[in-house]
Chain A
Amino acid sequence: MSKPKVGLYWCASCGGCEEAVVDLAEKILDVVAAVDIVFWPVALDFKKEDVEALADGELTAIFINGSIRLSEQEEMVHLLSRKAQYVIAFGSCAQLGGIPGLANLADRESIFEYVYRDAPSVVSTDGVFPQTRLAVPEGELKLPQFWDRVRALDEVIDVDYYLPGCPPTPKLIANALTALLEGKLPEKGAVLASSRALCYECDLNPTKPEKPSLKDIKRVWEIIPEPDKCLLAQGIICLGPVTRGGCEALCVKANMPCTGCFGPLDRVQDFGAKGLSAISSLFASNDEAELEALADKIPDVAGLFYKYSLPASLMFKGRGNTSER
C-alpha cells in the first residue's frame, strides 16, 4: 500500500516555517517513512508541472505557509487546494497575514516610489519599475501582479486547519502530522494548539498578580527585568494573557515578552483589538491626564498589537486585495 502523499508550499513567506519542519531533526526520518513528500520547493526538486500532473485529491494534505501577496501565490494555492484533501494553514502568515501584513498600513504608490526611486542607494535609470508584462528582445516576460493588500490564506481558499506560530514549534508540527496520519483530527476549522492563553504555560505565571496593574510602561530597552518575575507585572507589555498557548513560552524563557505570534484564542475575531482592550484595562489610573501619559508610552499601537495579524483584523479581513481610493 502506498504512503499518503503530502506537499508543502510557501507563499509570501520567509522560509522559517520550512526550517521548523527541518527542526523536527531525527523525527523527520519517521515522517519520510510514513509519507511521500511530493512537493516542497525548499528541499525537493519537484516542479509546478509535477503538481499539475497529480489527480485532484491525490494529496492527503497540503501545508501552506506564507500570506497571499502576489497573484502567483493566489494561483498556486487554488491549484494545490484542488489536488489536496486537507488544506492546513501553516504559520502566522497563512493564518493571520503575518508580520508582512503590516504593509497593509502603507500606501502602495508611495512604497513603489521609495523602493525603486527614492531609497538612498537606488540609482534610478529613467524611472524604470518592474512590469507584470514586458517585451524583451527574446520574447515576453511576466511578473505576478502585486496586490495592494496582504491577505491570509482563508480569504482565498477554504482552509481545514490552522497551525499557529511564527513559526509553529516542531512539537506542534509533529502532533499535527500524527493526528493527520492516525485520522484523529478535530473538527474542521480548529487551530492545532492549546485552547488556553499563554500565561497558563508560562513559568512566571505564579508571580503574575491576580489583577496586574500597569502604573508605568517600560519599553524593553529601558529596563533590565528581574528574573523569575512576570514581565507584565514589571511594566513590560507582554501579550501572554490574550495569546493562544502551545509554544511553551519560548520568548519569555529568553527574558523577552510575548508578541502574540500564536494569534487569538477561540471566539476572538480581532486579536489586536482584544490585546489593546486587555492591556489598556490594566492601566493603573482613572485620571484622564495620567491615562494619556500611559498611552503615550505605547507609541505604535498597531505595530504592537497587530504585529502578526493585521490582514485578519476586522478592518481588513474580507475587504479584498485592493485599497479603497
Chain B
Amino acid sequence: MTKVTIDPITRLEGHGRIEIFLNDAGDVDRAYFVVPELRGFEKFAVGRRAEDMPQITSRICGVCPTAHHMASTKALDDLFHVEPPPAALKLREMFYNIFMLEDHALHFYFLGGPDFIVGPKAPKAARNILGVIGKVGVEVAGQVIAMRKELRELMAYLGGKPVHPVFGLPGGVAKGMQKEDQERFIKAAEQGLDFALFTLKAFHDLVLGNREYVDLILSDAYKHRTYYLGLVDGNNRVNFYDGMLRVVGPEGKEFERFSVQQYVDHLAEHVEPWTYVKFMFLRNVGWRGFNDGEESGVYSVAPLARLNVADGMATPKAQEAYEEYLSTLGKPVHQTLANHWARVIEMVYAAERFLELASDPEITSTEIRRIPTATPTMGIGVVEAPRGTLIHHYESDERGLLTRANLIVATQGNAARIAMSVDKAAKALVHGTSVDDGLLNMVEMAFRAYDPCHACATHALPGQMPLIISLRDADGNVLRELIRGD
C-alpha cells in the first residue's frame, strides 16, 4: 500500500492536504481531502459586543471579508430589530456587488483560472498569475490589475480598507457616497461590465474553444449529481445580497424553499474524524455518506449551484450568458468544472447590478443610519458569499453582548462534494505507480473549481478528545491500537 500526498494544496484560500491511498495494482483505493485548520470564531464570539462582530467575523477570511462583514451586519439589523434606511441598503448591496465582481475575478485570474489559461499540466512554476500574465501579455495583464485596483479603491472609499472593511452597523452603514463621486462609481461599473464581458470572452476563447478542456469539463471524472442551494429573489433570480433560500434536487425540481430564519430546520452539519471541516447536508434528506443522488443529503453551493437553483439572471447581459450556458450544458448543470463558467457569468451580473445601483439617484442620500432603540435579542443574516451561502446567527443579552453564535459558512456547503470530487478525480486519473506533478495538479483542479475557502469552512475550534481505536481481526484479536489524548 503506497500513499501519495499533495501537501499543501495550492491556489485556493486555506490549508489542505490530499492523501491518495494506492493499492498493490497501483489504483486508487481512496483519496482523502484533509482540511487541517481551525481557529474557533463561534466560541470566542461569545462575550463580544454585537457591533464588533462584522469586523471580528471578517477575519474569518481575508479573501472574502466583505461576505462575512455583510452577513454579520444583516444579522445585527435583525438582532437590534432595526431597519436601515433605503439608501443604506442600496449602498450595502452595491458595495457587495463590487466585492463579488472583484473576488470572482481574483479567482479566475489568480487561483483557478491558471489551470486553463496556462494549462493543467504546465510546469509548476508557470501555473499561476505570472504564467497568466505571460500568456495574455503585459498590456492585458495591466488592464486586469488596473480594474481590480479601481474596484478595491472604491471598496476602500466606502469601507475604509478593502481587506476587513469597517462599513457595516446595525441600522445602516458608516459612510455614504458623496454626490460628486457618483460619476466615478458609474464609470467604474461600466468598466467593470466591459471587464466581465472580456473575461467571459476569454473563457470562451481559451476554454470552450479548446476541445481538450471541453472534454475535461464534460468528463465523468469531474461530475456529481447532488442537490443545490442558493438565494433567489422574488422572481427566482440570483441575488447575492438577500432573498429566500431555495434547494433544487439532482433532477432540477424545487425541493425546499425557506427563509434563513428557519435554517436550522433545513441545514445540518456532519462531523468526520479525519478532518476539521464539518460537512453540510440537508436535514430533511439525511446524511447518507459521501454519495450522489436524491437519497443523499449532500448539496452544493456557489456559482454552479446558484445558477441551477435560479430560473434566470436578473440583468440582461448576464441572462444572455446564462441562456447560452444552459443551452450548452442543460439544466441542472452537474459538471463541477462548469463552476468556472458560472463564476464568470456571475461576474457579468455583479457588474450590471453594480451599475444599476451606482446610477440610482437615492444612493447619494445622506440618510444612511438609523439608531436602534429596541433591546437586542437574536438575529440571523444571510448573503451569498462568492463561495456559497453564508449564514450568521447571533444571540445576545440585553446589553448586546453575544451569548451564542452559529456560523454556516459557504465552503462548508461544498465540503462533502469537494471530498467526493477529489476522490473521484483521483480514482479516474491516477493509475500505476508513476505519478507526476501535472497529474496531481489535475486532481487538485477537482477542488479548485469550487473556489474553496478553508479559513471560512473551519472557523470552528474543536480541541481534542481522548480516544483509543482498536483494530481487530476476524477472531477478535487486537491487531493494532491507536491511542491519542490524555
In the complex, are there CB atoms of A and B closer than 8 Å? yes
Shortest CB distance B349–A (Å): 23
CB-based nearest A residue for B122: A45
Whether the pair A112, B163 counts as a contact (CB closer than 8 A) is: no
Q: Which of A19, A26, A135 has the most B CB atoms < 10 Å from its CB? A: A19
Whether the pair A123, B283 counts as a contact (CB closer than 8 A) is: yes
Q: Which of A45, A106, A116 has the most B CB atoms < 10 Å from its CB? A: A45
Shortest CB distance B433–A (Å): 16
Question: Complex formed: what's the CA distance from A10 to B3 in Å?
Answer: 26
Question: Complex formed: what's the CA distance from A318 to B111 in Å?
Answer: 38
Q: Is A14 in contact with chain B by the CB < 8 A criterion?
A: yes
Q: Is A48 in contact with chain B by the CB < 8 A criterion?
A: yes
Give B110-168 interface residues, CB cut-off 8 Å to A: 110-111, 124-125, 127-130, 133, 138, 141-142, 145-146, 148-149, 152, 156, 158-167
Shortest CB distance A142–B (Å): 8
* B38 CB contacts on chain A under 8 angstroms: 69-70, 146
CB-based nearest A residue for B28: A138
CB-based nearest B residue for A76: B8
* A209 CB contacts on chain B under 8 angstroms: none
Interface flags, A130-142, vs B, CB<8A=1, else 0: 1111111111110
Whether the pair A224, B441 counts as a contact (CB closer than 8 A) is: no
Whether the pair A143, B59 counts as a contact (CB closer than 8 A) is: no
Q: Which of A103, A121, A224, A307 contacts B40 (CB 8 A)?
A: A103
Whether the pair B463, A121 counts as a contact (CB closer than 8 A) is: no
* A72 CB contacts on chain B under 8 angstroms: 15, 36
Shortest CB distance A125–B (Å): 7
Q: Is A263 in contact with chain B by the CB < 8 A criterion?
A: no
Instruction: Given A129-B462, A130-B462, A146-B462, verify A103-B44 contact (CB < 8 Å).
Output: yes
Question: Complex formed: what's the CA distance from A16 to B152 in Å?
Answer: 13
Give B1-34 interface residues, CB cut-off 8 Å to A: 1, 3, 6-15, 19, 21, 29-30, 32, 34
Whether the pair A254, B10 counts as a contact (CB closer than 8 A) is: no
Q: Is B61 in contact with chain A by the CB < 8 A criterion?
A: yes
Q: Is A34 in contact with chain B by the CB < 8 A criterion?
A: no
Instruction: Given A45-B124, A146-B462, verify A103-B149 contact (CB < 8 Å).
Output: no
Q: Which stretch of B250-258, B271-279, B312-320 is in the interface?
A: B271-279
Question: Complex formed: what's the CA distance from A13 to B148 in Å?
Answer: 23
Shortest CB distance A169–B (Å): 8
Q: Which of A22, A98, A116, A138 contacts B29 (CB 8 A)?
A: A138
* B138 CB contacts on chain A under 8 angstroms: 29
* A150 CB contacts on chain B under 8 angstroms: 39
Instruction: Given A25-B145, A255-B174, verify A121-B11 contact (CB < 8 Å).
Output: no
Whether the pair B166, A251 counts as a contact (CB closer than 8 A) is: yes
* B463 CB contacts on chain A under 8 angstroms: 108-109, 111-112, 146, 148
Interface flags, B239-266, vs A, CB<8A=1, else 0: 0000000000000000000000001100
Q: Which of B19, B141, B271 contacts A124 (CB 8 A)?
A: B271
Instruction: Given A130-B275, A138-B29, A254-B158, verify A221-B149 contact (CB < 8 Å).
Output: no
Q: Is A62 in contact with chain B by the CB < 8 A criterion?
A: no
Interface flags, A15-46, vs B, CB<8A=1, else 0: 11111101101101100100000000111111
* A148 CB contacts on chain B under 8 angstroms: 463
Question: Complex formed: what's the CA distance from A100 to B459 in Å?
Answer: 10
Question: Complex formed: what's the CA distance from A150 to B40 in Å?
Answer: 11
* B174 CB contacts on chain A under 8 angstroms: 220, 254-256
Chain B: number of interface residues, binned into ranges: 35 or more
Q: Is B326 in contact with chain A by the CB < 8 A criterion?
A: no
Q: Which of A105, A116, A135, A251 contacts B462 (CB 8 A)?
A: A116
Number of interface residues of A (CB under 8 A): 94
Whether the pair B465, A112 counts as a contact (CB closer than 8 A) is: yes
Q: Which of B55, B80, B484 contacts A132 (CB 8 A)?
A: B484
Interface flags, A277-316, vs B, CB<8A=1, else 0: 0000000000000000000000110111001000000000
Whether the pair B10, A42 counts as a contact (CB closer than 8 A) is: yes
Question: Complex formed: what's the CA distance from A225 to B401 in Å?
Answer: 22
* B145 CB contacts on chain A under 8 angstroms: 25-26, 28-29
Whether the pair A259, B48 counts as a contact (CB closer than 8 A) is: no
CB-based nearest A residue for B263: A121
Whether the pair B274, A141 counts as a contact (CB closer than 8 A) is: yes
* B110 CB contacts on chain A under 8 angstroms: 22, 43
Q: Which of B34, B148, B175, B278 contacts A255 (CB 8 A)?
A: B175
Whether the pair A300, B163 counts as a contact (CB closer than 8 A) is: no
Q: Which of A49, A114, A131, A304 contacts B273 (CB 8 A)?
A: A131
* A320 CB contacts on chain B under 8 angstroms: none
CB-based nearest A residue for B76: A221
* A70 CB contacts on chain B under 8 angstroms: 36-38
A-B residue pairs, 9 tightest by C-beta: A16-B62, A254-B160, A112-B463, A138-B21, A256-B166, A14-B62, A102-B44, A100-B39, A25-B149
In addition to A41-B9, A221-B170, 8 A-B residue pairs with Cβ atoms within 8 Å of each other are A14-B63, A42-B12, A42-B13, A45-B125, A115-B40, A137-B29, A139-B3, A250-B161
Can you list 30 pairs linking A and B with CB atoms under 8 Å apart? A15-B61, A16-B59, A19-B162, A23-B163, A41-B10, A48-B7, A69-B38, A100-B44, A102-B48, A103-B40, A106-B46, A111-B463, A112-B465, A115-B278, A116-B271, A119-B269, A129-B273, A129-B467, A130-B273, A135-B469, A137-B29, A150-B39, A167-B62, A221-B80, A221-B171, A222-B371, A224-B371, A251-B160, A254-B161, A254-B167
